[in-house]
Amino acid sequence: MRILALSILVLFSSCAVQTSRKSAQISDSNSRYFYKDRTGEFIIKRSVKNSGSKLVLKHEIYSPNELNKALEKTITVSGLGAIKTKKGTMPSMRPSVSQHSIWFEGEKFFSQLKLNTKKRSLDVVMKSPESQWNGKKSYSFPKGTIFCFFTQIPECVRYHGLLEEKSRPHQIQVIWDSFPYHTEVYEKVSSDPFEQGVWAFDKVDDNKLRYGLVIGGQLIIYEFNTQERFENMYWVVQGISLQRSEE
pLDDT at 83 (0 to 100): 85
224-233 pLDDT, tens digit per residue, is: 999 999 999 9
* Position 71 pLDDT exceeds 90: yes
* Position 124 pLDDT exceeds 50: yes
DSSP string for residues in the chain: -HHHHHHHHHHHSPPPPP---PPPP---EEEEEEEEETTEEEEEEEEEEE-SSEEEEEEEEEBTTBTTS-SEEEEEEEEEEEEEETTEEEEEEEEEEEEEEEEETTEEEEEEEEEETTTTEEEEEEE-SSGGG-EEEEEEPPS-S-EEEGGGHHHHHHHTTTTT--SS-EEEEEE-TTTTTHHHHSSS--SSSEEEEEEEEEEEETTEEEEEEEETTEEEEEEEETT--EEEEEEGGGTEEEEEE--
pTM of the model: 0.91
pLDDT category of residue 15 using cuts at 50, 70 and 90: very low
194-221 pLDDT, tens digit per residue, is: 999 999 999 998 899 999 999 999 999 9
Average pLDDT taken over every residue of the chain: 90
Query: Domain residue spans in the chain?
Result: 2-245
